[in-house]
Amino acid sequence: MTNPVIPGFHPDPTICRVGPDYYLACSSFAYFPGVPIFHSRDLVNWAQIGNALERPSQLRLPVTGSFSGGVYAPTLRHHDGRFWLITTNVDDGGNLLFTATDPAGPWSDPIRVPGVTGIDPDLAWDDDGNCWCTYAGIWQVRIDPESGRTFGSPRRLWSGTPGALAPEGPHLYRIDDQWYLLIAEGGTERGHSVSIARGPSPQGPFEPCPANPILTHRSTDRPVQNTGHGDLVQAPDGSWWLVLLGVRPRGGTPGWHVLGRETFLAPVRWADGWPVIGELTSAVDAPAPPVRDDFDQEELHPRWLSLRGRSSEVCTAGERPGWLTLHARGASLDEPDVTFVGRRQQHLSCRARTLIDPADGTGGLCVLQDDRHHYEIEATGTEVRVTARVGSLRTTVAAQAVAPGPVVLRADVLANKGGGDARAEPDTLELGVEDEDGAFTVLASLDGRYLSTEVAGGFTGRVIGMYAATGTVRFDWLDYEPAD
């Protein structure tokens, strides 16, 4: 088994099984559409089948919001013939509940749950049909999932190891004759961990596992760090598994992770009525074929992301058949309303290329961490230029004249192979242009640490994509492939 099972910016995984089929959802923060949904038959090979929140009526994200605002950790469950998804939109009034008969969609418009006031909500049903919502803190209240109404006042449950930071991400399970409360604690950085308690009812009282935390990689040199925010699932053969988030830091001290928090899988065995988490088997890029989008269909593949929203007025594959047309709003990637379409970087080393026609505007190819941390190569029609934005600094790094007409822009991400320098960067980004024969002219080679969570802060990972800065720009294709 190769880990991560879903690489790239796919944090806070939640999972459920229906017969032989597994379904998994992740956080999406300020990106639209929100909450990607995946399917698998073996827990290892996953395919994205949609996004739960794909309509403006489901997902409202303010233009002024942070990249790390928006949609926080969801819980995905199947109950009484329907799929249920509850999540928090911190920019739109709190907790929202959605239902679907098919996890690929469509999902309902939101049911608001104003009586649940914390993040990371979970859903669990007892034998009497009561629905319990447990959330960060760790608090719990009974709800009516059809209306969002709550009953009584929230009550505090077991909140993890005494003194541990940020008890959050709870999931409640009925396993045999016990109820198990699984939580994350320690913060989502290097101290992240998973702990568990059990009790006779959904309301407890809860007895903590004597081996808590049952999973953590803190104070180790393991290649996967920040391990936590898990969700348990039982396979048809009776085996148990845990999906969880983790990161792959690279370079020197303190280590920089650039892909965001990714989804990993670990085996689980039971001893004395407690789960024992097995080892994460690897932390490498899985072999993967190139992925090319020619924009021949008007509807974009669910892998494509935009910032805070996407309308056909500014983004369409139907205006010029076979091309993606972007109409500029914000004048650069620094602007909160920039017109942008991208996909998650999913490999430590990779290559992205696109053919752009800038005849009617200015735009380009970018590697985006957030609005204050990004690198891009931009085409104006007569020139291409590489720009770097790092915090409050923005500079044009290189420029080169080009002949009028479409041009192939390229970004290579080259992972650091290691070495003894404590200050070594995690990777290097080379931005430039390709000629008709495929020869690559590198205009700038940039340090990747500045597009990392450790520098930028927040909860998101890198996204690579296309943008419009002025006028109208069109893209014939974009291909993405892992590199050695």
Give the catalytic positions in this structure: 12, 168
Query: Which residue spans within 294-406 are E strands per DSSP?
Result: 306-307, 315-316, 324-327, 339-344, 350-370, 373-379, 383-390, 393-401
Token duo for residue 266: 């670990």
As a whole number of angstroms, the distance between CA 345 and CA 349 comes to 9
Neighbours of 242 (CB within 10 A): 24
Task: Kindly give, in sequence order, each residue whose CB lies less than 8 Å from that of residue 90, ignoring residues fewer than 6 positions away.
Answer: 69, 70, 72, 119
User: Residue 427: is it exposed, middle or buried by C-beta count within 10 angstroms (0-12/13-18/19+)?
Assistant: buried
End-to-end CA distance of the chain: 20
CA dihedral sign, ordered 231, 214, 283, 224: positive
Check: CB of residue 9 under 8 Å from CB of residue 260.
Answer: yes
CA dihedral sign, ordered 325, 329, 332, 333: negative
SS (H, E, C) 101-165: CCCCCCCCCCEECCCCCCCCCEEEECCCCCEEEEECCCEEEEECCCCCCEEEEEEECCCCCCCCC
